[in-house]
Structure 1
Amino acid sequence: MATSTPPQSLTLPDAELCYRSNGHGSPVLFIQGVGVAGSGWLPQTDDLSSEFACVAFDHRGIGRSRTTAAALSIEQMARDALALMDAVGFPTAHVVGHSMGGVIAQQLALDAPQRVTSLALLCTFSQGAEATRLTPAIVWLGMRSGIGSRAMRRRAFLEMLFPPAYLAGRDLVALSACLQPLFGRDLAEQPPIVMQQLKALGRHDCSGRLPELASIPTLVVAGKHDPIARVEYGRRLAQLIPGSRYVEMADASHGATIQDPSAINRLLREHFRASETPHADAR
């Protein structure tokens, strides 16, 4: 049976990171995206901890984590993740990243490839600027998530995460309330650190180095209806990492890890197991 520890903290020179570990087995580090606390991975860690030692954390400046640094960068957040691996005793780990977390995972793997057993890059990008590209649809959703009544802002946020077919006929008030513990906040609110995270993401581009990750078993997952990490971004990311496996979820959007956790968890289990077999390195 999986065991869960109370939230713990890691003190760094300019930050304090809150994290939670759960389960036993091969180590897995989960890295979340913009504006989301580590609890956003609960649909994965609650299930996968029956077979794997799972660690998820709050990025500096969000949830229970704090920072005194004046600036934020993807490189710094990748160093945070490596420091956390050291603190929990993970010499190596399967690294899973969603959205901005996928970009951080790529940087971590480039910085310390010997520490990464496998990569799982979910609803993410090869270039941070792809995430911050202002299409008319994203501008409209962004405006609606920041103005109007709290109910209107929550609905706009839900439309960023889920496709119309998923939201049709659902009680959106109940759905928003259900998601609040995962995101660590009311969906109508935006933590101040979000703008810094978006700026850091928009500045980051390690796409030219991604072929260096060819020796790391990599899974790339995209949602067909994702307005943020569009499917063409996922395909490009998979093309840039030789030997990676690309999976496109026909009914999913940016919140695929929440919308269909059983499918995501099945893909992760398969990926972790395949990465640990002897043939995984003979590619």
Structure 2
Amino acid sequence: MTGRFFLACIAALGGAAASAQDYPAKPVRLLVGFAAGGPTDVIARVIAQDMAMSLGQGVVVENKTGANALIATQEVRRAAPDGYTLLMTTLSHNVNAILLADQKPYDPIKDFAPISLVSFLPLVMVTRADAPFNSVQDVVQAAKAKPGEVSYASAGNGGSAHLAAALVETLSGTRMTHVPFRGNAPALTEVMAGRVSFMFYPMVGIADQVAQKRLKALAVSTEKRHPDYPAVLTMAESGFPGFEQYTQGLGVVAPANTPAPVIDKLNAAVRASLAKPETKDKLKGLGAITQGGSSPAEFRAWLQTDAERWARVIKAAGVRAE
């Protein structure tokens, strides 16, 4: 029996090695937890197109929306660890696990095999063009004068826009009113109409509306001033040093226990994409910041640090799951 078991193990290991060597033998699915056309989806499609060229197989982006990307995340967690089902992670990867800790939906570190960081999506704080606010400090002073009257919109509870504004509340010691919507588009519509005071919005595609005086940019969340908004102060310049650390990061993960050779092939494909000048230009045009990707180990360490960072914000701001 022992000899048979040993031979079975050797055969299994040989099969796994051959499988990894032949990978990929069919198209790869890249799940996105948000709707088509949004920042995460657009970036995923740019990367997927490049990855397909490197891997010699199609990389198909699938939008599995719902529950702030929880549905997509759960599907990838349950998928076979063979490298054919991947997830484009966002801030929600860690935040869902924090907000739903009592339900234990998944472990963002242990249940997944990190492949690579892809990019960072900074935000711009905007208000209606004719709003009385001309700076972040104007908003803070108004919130201090009339607690609860200043409001901020977001694309949903626990998203990057929500947590960025909650961080401003916490650091400034103010109380504002959070108004969540189902997506960035309706949230921005209400800000432009003046029914909500302000919001943090991804830099993707919003520069034109600022240039057309439909919106007023109060600050950017980047470490340095952004070329699309050269006259707009950073959050650090606006009295919130270190705010750039809370920028949303996007990355790619596979189910836990995916073979290391498969992870290495996927990592090489992502990094090859991010090294292409045309891809860099596309992502820059979307407002994304890229740094050439990362190793799987570097991405794992970043995910851990990011989880700790947002857990502090969520606890301090008293953010709860809805």
> Which TM bucket (shorter chain)?
0.3 to 0.5
Q: TM-score normalized by structure 1? A: 0.35
Which has more radius of gyration? Answer: 2
Q: TM-score normalized by structure 2? A: 0.32
